[in-house]
Amino acid sequence: MNFSISLTVNGVRREIELDDPRVTLLDLLRERLDLTGTKKGCDRGQCGACTVLVDGRRINSCLALAVSQDGADILTIEGVAHGDQLHPVQAAFIAHDAFQCGFCTPGQVMSGIGLITEGQAGDDPERVREGMSGNLCRCGAYAGITEAVLEAQNTLANSDQRRSA
Amino acid sequence: MMNFDYVRPLTVAEAVAAASEKGATYLASGTNLLDLMKGGVCHPSRLVDVTRLPGLDRVEYLADGGVRIGALVRNADLAHDAEFARAFPSVAEALLSGASAQLRNAATVGGNVLQRTRCAYFYDAPSACNKRWPGAGCDARHGENRLHAVLGWSEACIATHPSDFCVPLVALDAVVEIEGKSGRREVALEALHRLPGDTPQRETLLERGDLIVALRLPAEARGFAAHARYIKVRERTSYAFAVVSAAASLRIEQGTIREARLALGGVAAKPWRARAAEQVLAGAAPDAAGFREAARIALADAKPSGDNAFKIELAERIVVRALTLATAGTPARIPALPGSPFSSGVRHVA
């Protein structure tokens, strides 16, 4: 049985035919849409490497059936920069050495963007660490990740102020 | 993962009909179900996707002071609903102490209530498990069982219910609204989950086709808002299931506890309401000696199911801690580390 779904992925509307209902959103992105920036780590919702935004909210794409996301707006790591201009969270990760091997980084960046959008952490490093606890980093770059998210949040808040001034 | 039929009904009646066939199961966000299907623990022949059912994604504040939470409300949305967190702070704290931000953004409250145990032998398809295969035996009983049940367990099953959310809910007399083949009915959350006995495969009193459509908290639950905490010991400070947890809610007037609500998590196959301990607390002064006595009573029937005797003492201490912190007062804002015993300035009294 085939399932026709429609997704907006990084701003582009895609009509997708699924020949199997078992495909996760993660496998759809990586294997069928060739968006391999989203990583498959544990594939069981424990590591956060597959984090993407669905309708603006960060989720684990490995634990979401693609067919159930019909109509959703998906943002992946490939969609956050503007050309050569990095997203403030990406730029802050580089500035703060917030990675070593880089495998978890796309998920960390998407999770950081999601956390800043949620607006619950403020400038409290403890709340940022707690809010980022769904993303594991085997290299242990956690100190840099916390600093990067805090700095990116400031950068985004300042640019919002400039826009509204 | 075994293949399955996928349907996405648009009404509750269609959903109930579609899920009433043998082998069918409901899919909400799937954060637990997909994991179980990938591991070969669950293999439904049909998934009935309920995420498009109308009207189940709302938090409604009722005229009588209660609240009705649609089954499809996401864990994060409920916890961050300012009015909800003000009125039912221990429930919001429990929600935020569970899983990760990504999972809380996806997982629904109905799914949270029905999540399955994290017993490693249940998750490991080759192991003997009476839940997966009634009569097969229980490899946990003499296996790695330091995190297993100390209350209400049986020789057939020593698994625990993993939900944080359910612990304060059961303390506050939550009610579950169920739509089924013979119409709408409701049951107390405390009665929804079953103890294992000889039939651990029967985890709730739901029948085939039954769909949880909402959870309700009564107006009286608001009366504890000033003194309510959820405290949870984990093997790491965030993103881990409870080793043991306690939800404590007190109504204190003129230095006396007028009414107490107490429930424990991580200790049994269901969220464990400690009614006898509540009765001792009512009318007593909120002090360390009374809390220790209440904790002793709450765990009086506990016995180790294996290498987990430490959980009994630990649960008593967590009860004392939760009562102590509840007495100190609900924080103006949920702490940076929700539910953590390590995040508070209040000293341990025991």
Mean pLDDT for back-to-back runs of 10 residues, chain B (350 residues): 96 98 98 98 98 98 98 98 98 98 98 98 97 98 98 98 98 98 97 98 98 98 98 95 98 98 98 98 98 98 98 98 98 96 55
Grade residue A163 by pLDDT with cuts at 50, 70 and 90: confident
Query: CATH 3.30.43.10 region(s) of chain B?
Result: 5-52
Pick the CATH number of B5-52 from 2.40.50.180, 3.30.43.10, 1.10.287.130, 3.50.30.10: 3.30.43.10
Indicate if the pLDDT at residue A160 is higher than 90.
Answer: no
| CB contact A55 to B (< 8 Å) | no
Q: How far apart are the two ends of chain A, measured CA to CA in Å? A: 54
Q: Which of A1, A43, A63 sits opposite B30 (nearest CB)?
A: A63
**In chain A, domain spans:** 3-79, 88-164
For residue range A76-130, list pLDDT tens digits in order.
999 999 999 999 999 999 999 999 999 999 999 999 999 999 999 999 999 999 9
The span from the CA of B83 to the CA of A26, in Å, is 35
Contact B101 A111 (CB under 8 A): yes
Other CB atoms closer than 10 Å to residue A54's CB: what's the count? 19
Distance in angstroms (rounded) separating the CA atoms of residues A110 and A53: 7
Cβ-proximal residues to A141 (8 Å cutoff; 6+ apart), any chain: A97, A98, A99, A100
Tell me the CATH architecture of domain B224-328: 2-Layer Sandwich (3.30)
For residues B230 and B322, is the Cβ–Cβ distance under 8 A? yes
Instruction: Collect all residues with Cβ–Cβ distance below 8 Å to A21 and sequence separation of at least 6.
Output: A1, A3, A65, A67, B3, B4, B5, B6, B47
On whether any CB of chain A is under 8 Å from the CB of B201, the answer is: no
**Hey, is the C-beta of A119 within 8 angstroms of any chain B C-beta?**
no
- Residue B262 contacts residue B246 (beta carbons within 8 Å): yes
The residues near A97 (Cβ < 8 Å, ≥ 6 apart) are A141, A144
What is the rounded distance in angstroms from the CA atom of residue B346 to the CA atom of residue B297?
Answer: 24
What is the reported pLDDT for B4? 98
- Rounded (5°) CA angle B254-B259-B263: 135
A124 Cβ under 8 Å from any chain B Cβ: yes
- Which of A3, A54, A58 best probes binding to B when mutated, by most B CB atoms within 10 angstroms? A58
Interatomic CA distance for residues B118 and B308, integer angstroms: 16
Contact A127 B5 (CB under 8 A): no
In the CATH scheme, what architecture does the domain A88-164 have?
A: Orthogonal Bundle (1.10)
Distance between CA A108 and CA A99 in Å, rounded? Answer: 9
ipTM of the complex: 0.97
Closest A-chain CA to B43: A22
Of B175, B219, B173, B172, the C-alpha closest to B326 is: B172
Instruction: State the nearest Cα–Cα gap between A149 and chain B, in angstroms.
Output: 15
- Supply the CATH classification number for the domain A3-79: 3.10.20.30
Helical residues (DSSP H) of chain A, grouped into ranges: 25-27, 88-95, 105-118, 125-131, 142-164
| Helices (runs of H) and strands (runs of E) counted in chain A | 5, 5
Q: Could you tell me if B51 lies within 8 Å of chain A, comparing CB atoms?
A: yes
Query: What does the pLDDT read at residue B350?
Result: 41
Chain B nearest CA to A128, separation (Å): 9
Looking at chain B, which residues constitute the CATH 3.30.390.50 domain(s)?
224-328
Nearest residue of chain B to residue A68 (CA atoms): B49
Asked whether B28 and B56 are in contact (CB, 8 A), the reply is no
